[in-house]
Structure 1
Amino acid sequence: MKNYLIVLAALLPLLPQVTGLHLLLNNVTYDNRHTANLNDPVNLRCEVVDNINDASLIWYRGTQQVDIKSENSVNVSNICIPELTIEDNGVSFTCLLKQNTSMKLSLQMDVRFPPILTGETKIMAEEGKTVQITCGFQANPAAAIFWRQNNGLFTLPSRYKQDMTTDTLQLTIDKATKQDSANYTCVALSQGNETIRVIQLIVGDRQPGLPVGAIAAAVVVGALIIAFGMFARRDKVFRACKKSQNETAM
């Protein structure tokens, strides 16, 4: 019993450190979300609270460790993001206690930006061929995406098929005709604002292909030329070998 009390007395000074030690990330003690606009600066501050001895901190951006100076890692650590980018959207910045990485806090970035549309602005196609018009988009918050034809809403004909993924809107036209030539406008609506990208489609005459008979004749002629060439070379090589044998016999 006496030995137990001695051990307990030795551990008592450590109890506040074990039970009270915690982290603050931007002054909160729980995982959080930070909303800001594109190109805004962001400062992150992580602090060890109720520690008795110096504690080291480390940072991660997603799964990659952030390189910070040693003097910026003891008890308090700061990270500055000069300008938020689209790539920062949805990424978590995590502060961890180096001595015990299970003690950590994360801040997820919610980067707001208007719709950004990408894709070709001019497409040349042939009559009778399948045409694909693709509009890439990014937006936060999410935007409503749709097509206009010659600046007006239109009902998709049966030859038209529309597909949407998380970041593309695609219009497929089967057996395109010259009447399909038009300006197709990709429209993104977000928070009452409209962003557009105009894609010009020009459907021209179908290019004549080579006749099947002409292709077959060309193949036959090519094969004959190769065969005659091989035969002529064989005869030349045979004569050269024969001459060499006669010289050896002499």
Structure 2
Amino acid sequence: MKVSVSVSLLLLCFVCRVKAVTIKSCPLADGNFLQTEVEKTVTLTCMIDEGIDPSNQNELQWFRNDVRVNLAEENRQSPSSLCIQPVTKDDNGVVFICQLKGNTSVNSSIEFDVQYPPDLNDTKEVFVEEASDVVLSCDVQANPPVTVVWKKDGEILDLISGSYKTTNNGITAQLLITKAMRNVHQGMYICEVNSSIYGIMGRTFNVTVQDKVIGFPIGPTIAGVVVVLCTIVFALISRRNKIIKCIKPN
């Protein structure tokens, strides 16, 4: 009985040993977790144990998340390689899986942690009419996430006064200025972000509050014109007989 159990365990260990798929990466991954940056190049190489005989049943498949990667025929046998060049923001959190076509339970995976800074360090000119609202938007999507501070004329913005409101969903940070006034809201605003990897950066907004432009009252003007025309028409109709007498020949 003990011999039978021992043999079964040995067979199980042998099967587990030979039926293995391994992914090696350049740069090196930490287990099945690979940290890299945008614009870099990553090479993944999938290999099966030497104990597995080459055959169609041991053809390899790659998946990017749930989408199968098209491979050249000669790249479907061990070792099979993928080159991700360049790495982009869209690769962050993506899982690459390599598996045996004949036995999908034999697989290995590696997840990308792509680091990138927010797309900032620029200046925008903003013009707003007095008593109107304006929104200043700042792209803050980054990995790792950043902290955001709004400043006006070099000082941290007092959000309590000045009719300000801020929002931040991790992708876009916004500053809303309601009913802009020249003596309160005009000036230089900075959306300053701080990254633990990339340091401090930001976007500058030069806000100019202009005099409110009085728009031409199109609606009332049209209504007035219609009233005048109707009055003229009715006046002509009421004086029709007199007009006819005036134009009759002697």
Normalising by structure 2, report the TM-score: 0.74
Q: Distance in 1 between matches of 2:16 and 2:144?
A: 42
Do the aligned partners of 1:25 and 1:95 also contact (CA within 8 Å) in 2?
Answer: yes
Runs of 4+ in structure 1 over 4 Å off: 13-19, 222-226
* Aligned match for 1:64, one of 62, 67, 83: 67
1:218 partnered with 2:218 = no
2:3 alignment counterpart? none
Shift of 1:31: 7.0
Q: Distance in 2 between matches of 1:14 and 1:133?
A: 63
Q: Which ranges of structure 2 fall in alignment gaps of 5 or more residues?
A: 1-10, 233-250
- Show the 5 A alignment for 1:109-120: 109-117=112-120
- Show the 5 A alignment for 1:6-21: 16-17=14-15, 20-21=18-19
Identity of aligned residues (%): 28
1:4 alignment counterpart? none
* Aligned match for 1:25, one of 10, 14, 23: 23
* Aligned match for 1:165, one of 165, 169, 184: 169
Do the aligned partners of residues 22 and 207 (structure 1) sit closer, same or farther apart at CA in structure 2, a change above 3 Å counting? same
User: Partner letter of residue 196 of structure 2?
Assistant: Q
- Show the 5 A alignment for 1:159-238: 159-179=163-183, 180-191=185-196, 193-211=199-217, 215-219=219-223, 221-222=225-226
SS in 2 for 1:121: strand
SS in 2 for 1:138: coil
User: Partner letter of residue 83 of structure 1?
Assistant: P
1:51 alignment counterpart? 52
Do the aligned partners of 1:17 and 1:51 also contact (CA within 8 Å) in 2?
Answer: no
SS in 2 for 1:35: strand
Q: Distance in 2 between matches of 1:167 and 1:216?
A: 44
Do the aligned partners of residues 144 and 36 (structure 1) sit closer, same or farther apart at CA in structure 2, a change above 3 Å counting? same
Do the aligned partners of 1:117 and 1:138 also contact (CA within 8 Å) in 2?
Answer: no
1:155 partnered with 2:165 = no
1:122 partnered with 2:120 = no
Shift of 1:218: 1.2
SS in 1 for 2:223: helix
User: What CA deviation, in whole Å up to 9, does each residue of 1:167-211 have, x standing for no partner?
Assistant: 111111111111211111111111272111111111111111334
Do the aligned partners of residues 109 and 84 (structure 1) sit closer, same or farther apart at CA in structure 2, a change above 3 Å counting? same
Do the aligned partners of residues 68 and 128 (structure 1) sit closer, same or farther apart at CA in structure 2, a change above 3 Å counting? same
Do the aligned partners of residues 51 and 222 (structure 1) sit closer, same or farther apart at CA in structure 2, a change above 3 Å counting? farther
Normalising by structure 1, report the TM-score: 0.74
User: What CA deviation, in whole Å up to 9, does each residue of 1:131-171 have, x standing for no partner?
Assistant: 11111122222211111111221211251111111211111
Shift of 1:119: 8.3
User: What CA deviation, in whole Å up to 9, does each residue of 1:29-59 have, x standing for no partner?
Assistant: x971101232222110111223234211111
SS in 1 for 2:192: strand
Over aligned residue pairs, what C-alpha RMSD do you find? 3.2
SS in 1 for 2:213: coil
User: Partner letter of residue 52 of structure 1?
Assistant: D
User: Partner letter of residue 81 of structure 2?
Assistant: N
1:35 alignment counterpart? 35
